[in-house]
Amino acid sequence: MQTRPREAFVDLFYEDVVVGDEVHTDAHDVTMDDVLTFGKVTRDLHPLHTDAEFCRKTSFGRPIAHGLYGLALIEGLKSELKLYENTSIASLGWDKVRFMAPIFPGDSLHVRVVFKDKRESRKGHGIVIEKTELINQHGLIVIDAEHAAMVQRRPGA
């Protein structure tokens, strides 16, 4: 559970990150236009994402969003929190990504971020491991993943 007001999670330095703290993003309502635009930009126009007639014959019964759309949405919603707005050095990557359930146009999704771990880097920066979950309007986790972020240390730390 969020242990501090959401505003307390803006522009975190490494020293500000408390392992175990949790913060939630606002929700985003997925549209079919979102799915089609993502497909066009990434050149992934598979009928599972674009063809309602094709999808009626699948176990989903209707188009689903790309799994990578959901992962990208995690990052986008997280960026709106401004966790490391002026303290970010780099994203070091995503690990343990699991697509747990389909994302449908019409779903309302938000992200839960839990600060799972942190350590100093060899170059004196901070590395923060975030457990992220993309959650739909029914409380179902549709994507579970970990993200590693390199962030600045507080000056003089």
- Rounded mean pLDDT, 124-140: 97
Q: What is the pLDDT of residue 5?
A: 81
The residues with which 134 forms a beta bridge, in sequence order, are 111, 143
Please give the Cα distance from 104 to 109 (Å, whole number).
Answer: 10
Domains of the chain: 6-151 (3.10.129.10)
How many whole angstroms separate alpha carbon 129 and alpha carbon 123? 17
Per-residue pLDDT, 122: 84
DSSP 11: S
Q: Tell me, what's the pLDDT at 3?
A: 64
Give residues with Cβ within 8 angstroms of 131, minimum separation 6: 113, 114, 115, 116, 144, 145, 146
- The answer to whether 146 and 94 have CB atoms below 8 angstroms apart is yes
Confidence band (pLDDT; 50, 70, 90) for 115?
very high
- The predicted pLDDT at position 75 comes to 97
Give the per-residue pLDDT at 99: 98
Q: From residue 16, how far is each of 7, 8, 22, 58, 119 by CA, in Å?
A: 13, 9, 13, 47, 12
Residue 85 has pLDDT above 70, yes or no: yes
